[in-house]
Structure 1
Amino acid sequence: MASSRTLCVSLLLLLLVSVSCSYATSRLSSDRVSAKPPLSQAERLIRSLNLSPKKPVNIIKGDVADFVPGKIVEKKFSFLGDSGPSIEDLGHHAGYYSLPHSKAARMFYFFFESRNKKDDPVVIWLTGGPGCGSELALFYENGPFHIGDRLSLTWNDFGWDQVSNILFVDQPTGTGFSYSSDDSDIPHDEKGVSNDLYDFLQEFFKAHPEFVKNDFYITGESYAGHYIPALASRVNQGNKQNQGIHINLKGFAIGNGLTNPAIQYPAYPDFALDNGIITKANYDDIKKLIPDCEKAAKTCETQGGESCGEAFGTCENIIGQILNIAPDINYYDIRKKCEGPLCYNFENVEILLNRDDVKSALGVGKDLEFVSCSSTVYEALNLDWMQNLEVGIPALLEDGIKLLVYAGEEDLICNWLGNSRWVQAMEWSGQKAFGTSPTVKFVVDGAEAGSLNSYGPLSFLKVYKAGHLVPMDQPKAALQMLKNWMRGNLTKTE
């Protein structure tokens, strides 16, 4: 690749997450929302993201013969070309893991060793969607590089590889460069998602034993508000049962996530009114939709199955009404106007990653297309959307595994208010103490960059001047947040 390509991989991830937290990006039509959104809705969303994969998912037929379950194939690579550091000088890896509990699924990942020291924590980043590739975050948010015009890559001074050894994984199967020969390999619930990721982590640490002793953290955005707690519980369970390699799980962080929909959906009208998006009269009308949403969410929780699809449709009416009133708002960042159908343009990452020379450098077959956001994966997890993933978190807190929930204050889709409410409502031994904890300043470069509440292993951080994609909007604050949190002192100033 040309030496001018220095590196940038995060906006797509950002977009990815946005796709997740209520699928409001598809601009649902207001009064009537189908219980199960049609495939065309997901396809419209992907087109509106200025992403146009030729196929909705990578299903490569006839690829079973070479499939070796549980095997990792990895290679070093450099995006910097001849004038940059050599491959030997860079701890940049790309690889495929053959999922053992599948017919022929291969999970693609990037691994970037810390620019600082190898004993920095290992961090895994999960993008949302569901069905969007981790490369969106990698190039537009918190990866080592940023992608600019003419596909130029530049070093990201605030990449999270400054303080961690970081993994970006294309998951679930069918996302990004991950693929299978059988569409039945695409998981339909968090059990399937978390088991696949746990199997991957086991094999990853076998392939990289020098990192087994490092602290381990799970992070991500948007619909990863589902993935992250599920994976944290799976890792904790594996550790307790002495399954394979002990993963040194210390904490998990959810950014502008969708975690407890029954609490987060009713927060939409309050947030919209507080920020002048709707009028008091609008608010009074929209609030009438909340009882049906709460009832449907409860039915989903107790009955599961198709009732969860019905709950999704019922609750989406709330955000649909708000977007009808404010059709031009950027629902990922209410300070901005929506430019284009999805408010951001991330097409450069798709152009870059579908170049033959780039795919060759990454060990990706020429017949594979980078699928930025998969409508097939999105549809496969339709009944997972309204599931409450908060329920497993108290047990993790009681085991001393810390949680950071952070949210950019300008995001509507997975807004800070809804996230704050589910965190406050969560029942655990420290609930009362957390609820009465003082709100303190989060300071970056001597300036107030957010407000923080914390008690014991639980922290909630509202990030100022940031939307849905905090590492993109406030990269320096996001890096300091990660570093301080992992070191156990979010209030420390630099």
Structure 2
Amino acid sequence: MASSPTLSKFSLTLALLFFILLSSSYAKPPQSQAQRLIRSLNLFPNKPVNIIKGDDVDFVPGKIVEKKFSFLGDSGPSVEDLGHHAGYYSLPHSKAARMFYFFFESRNRKDDPVVIWLTGGPGCGSELALFYENGPFHFANNLSLIWNDFGWDQASNILFVDQPTGTGFSYSSDESDIRQDETGVSNDLYDFLQEFFKAHPDFVKNDFYITGESYAGHFIPAFASRINQANKQNQGIHINLKGFAMGNGLTNPGIQYPAYPDFALDNKIITNATYDEIQKIVPDCEQATKTCEAQGGQSCSTALDTCQNIFELILSDAKDINYYDIRKKCEGSLCYDFGKVEILLNQENVKSALGVGSDLQFISCSDTVHDALNEDWMKNWEVGIPSLLEDGIKVLVYAGEEDLICNWLGNSRWVHSMEWSGQKAFATSPTLTFVVDGVEAGSLNSYGPLSFLKVYEAGHLVPMDQPKAALQMLKSWMGGNLTKTE
């Protein structure tokens, strides 16, 4: 394995490129504190979507730009061969959408799996994960970059994508490209992958995995189903889908919302009196969610409002707890300081290095994209997973034990209640200890292609809180060795 030296010298362009913004863009609160916390899932949208009027943006059909970056003065071995890319692909079935991405080839083997990472929101770019969780680099205290020893590019060729359209640097000149359901989102992601593999035919035969967290618990099952369906129908380039992993995701709200009071009481976040009060309104949430599934449309917005009352009552007792990691206090509007210099990503030389038009602004989280998916929020996306399991697609649901927002308890409940041929065997499977370097790092249940892992000492952002365990989880799971203990 290559060593991980500090990247001490960079060209000005590259140094500016990797500053992430997330600190000063959260000024516009939604209707309630509960909505701010639940619906943001780490990243609260406040800026408009990237809709470029007219034909002012220079555009070449297909691939717009893809640049390979090298690091000046770095003493590490083969740095120039890491193949760092950033660029755009047009989406052929959209009106005018262009999707932005970063791509990092594996530090080890080119035949390592291709992994795509999707951040939630909905409407938030994947740069947070790239620089604070599982990307190749982290920020040093002086804002220079250092190697992330536990970046997922240690075991994969990894893509970070700004999606849905309008997120991050992704944009369109037609408002109809803003998606309102998972069908539109998954079709766009499928088109993106087709364009990517056309440009990178040498990766087509690699195993392919989908990963992500938070609202990606919606995105990922829909996306996996879209790929699987296309493969069966011999559409486009065959994508060698082997599995998908969802971390602290929102997948089945009808089960996960009622789990809030149980998790909160178990962790002494609420009083017994508050718990009893919440239990009186849980049936209303469950019924509203069923109506959403049956009728769709406005009934799903009503279900969201109804179920948010559960979280409002929890907040009344929770005070200053960090809802993404209950071991910590919430400091600042998002409970974390992800603040880097936002303005840098919108400087002309940075955008030029990325192949981004001068009239585009970086949007970390788009409230337009977020609001467009309002009626998707309470939909149950567990329903598409059983057929994927039956087709042998591996599914890993993992959750940091200290997260409240998308807690392990709610995720465990929907995983165990999911109806598929292996349901009973999964429910009776022994609970194994997930061990990393001789240390207990989690508890695991697994049967056939389905695994559920509760990660110890981690909150909502598992790769940030437990980077070594997260990388080992990825390696073991992709290698079929997750159930093996040391």
Rate the CA distance shift 1:10–1:231 in 2: closer, same or farther, 3 A: farther
User: 3-state SS of the aligned residue for 1:266?
Assistant: helix
User: 3-state SS of the aligned residue for 1:391?
Assistant: coil
For 1:63 and 1:481, the matched residues in 2 are separated by 46
Partner of 1:104: 96
Deviation at 1:324, TM superposition (A): 1.8
Matched, 1:207 2:211: no
User: 3-state SS of the aligned residue for 2:244?
Assistant: strand
Q: Is the 8 A contact 1:139 1:349 kept in 2?
A: no
Q: Look up the equivalent residue of 2:32 and give its one-letter code.
A: L
Partner of 1:22: none
Rate the CA distance shift 1:12–1:269 in 2: closer, same or farther, 3 A: farther
Alignment counterpart, residue 376 of structure 1, candidates 354, 363, 368: 368
Rate the CA distance shift 1:7–1:453 in 2: closer, same or farther, 3 A: farther
Partner of 1:427: 419
Partner of 2:236: 244
Q: Is the 8 A contact 1:114 1:164 kept in 2?
A: yes
TM-score, normalised with respect to structure 2? 0.91
Give the aligned length: 473
Aligned-residue Cα RMSD (Å) equals 2.9
Q: Is the 8 A contact 2:214 2:250 kept in 1?
A: yes
Deviation at 1:104, TM superposition (A): 1.3
Q: Look up the equivalent residue of 1:78 and give its one-letter code.
A: F
Partner of 1:228: 220
Matched, 1:164 2:168: no
User: 3-state SS of the aligned residue for 2:230?
Assistant: helix
Alignment counterpart, residue 447 of structure 1, candidates 439, 443, 454: 439
Q: Look up the equivalent residue of 1:97 and give its one-letter code.
A: Y
Q: Look up the equivalent residue of 1:458 and give its one-letter code.
A: L
Matched, 1:133 2:125: yes
Q: Is the 8 A contact 1:77 1:92 kept in 2?
A: yes
Partner of 1:28: 32
Instruction: Give deviations 1:11-36, integer Å, cap 9, x for gaps.
Output: 9799x9xx9xxxxx969357xxxxxx
Q: Look up the equivalent residue of 1:72 and give its one-letter code.
A: K
Q: Look up the equivalent residue of 2:276 and give its one-letter code.
A: D
Rate the CA distance shift 1:79–1:299 in 2: closer, same or farther, 3 A: farther
Q: Is the 8 A contact 1:217 1:251 kept in 2?
A: yes
Q: Is the 8 A contact 1:350 1:372 kept in 2?
A: no
Matched, 1:323 2:327: no
Q: Is the 8 A contact 2:115 2:157 kept in 1?
A: yes
Q: Look up the equivalent residue of 2:418 and give its one-letter code.
A: M
For 2:198 and 2:174, the matched residues in 1 are separated by 27
For 2:204 and 2:185, the matched residues in 1 are separated by 22
Deviation at 1:354, TM superposition (A): 2.5
User: 3-state SS of the aligned residue for 2:365?
Assistant: coil
Alignment counterpart, residue 74 of structure 1, candidates 23, 40, 65: 65
Q: Is the 8 A contact 1:271 1:415 kept in 2?
A: yes
Q: Is the 8 A contact 1:145 1:156 kept in 2?
A: yes
For 1:162 and 1:400, the matched residues in 2 are separated by 26
For 1:10 and 1:467, the matched residues in 2 are separated by 24
Q: Is the 8 A contact 1:12 1:137 kept in 2?
A: no
Matched, 1:3 2:17: no
Q: Is the 8 A contact 1:10 1:146 kept in 2?
A: no
Greater CA drift, 265-274 or 152-161: 152-161
Q: Is the 8 A contact 1:235 1:247 kept in 2?
A: yes
For 1:166 and 1:65, the matched residues in 2 are separated by 28
Partner of 1:362: 354
Rate the CA distance shift 1:374–1:79 in 2: closer, same or farther, 3 A: farther
Q: Is the 8 A contact 1:299 1:307 kept in 2?
A: yes
Partner of 1:34: none
For 2:341 and 2:208, the matched residues in 1 are separated by 28
Deviation at 1:73, TM superposition (A): 2.4
Deviation at 1:453, TM superposition (A): 0.1
Greater CA drift, 73-82 or 458-467: 73-82
Q: Look up the equivalent residue of 2:381 and give its one-letter code.
A: L
Q: Is the 8 A contact 2:22 2:340 kept in 1?
A: no
Partner of 1:145: 137
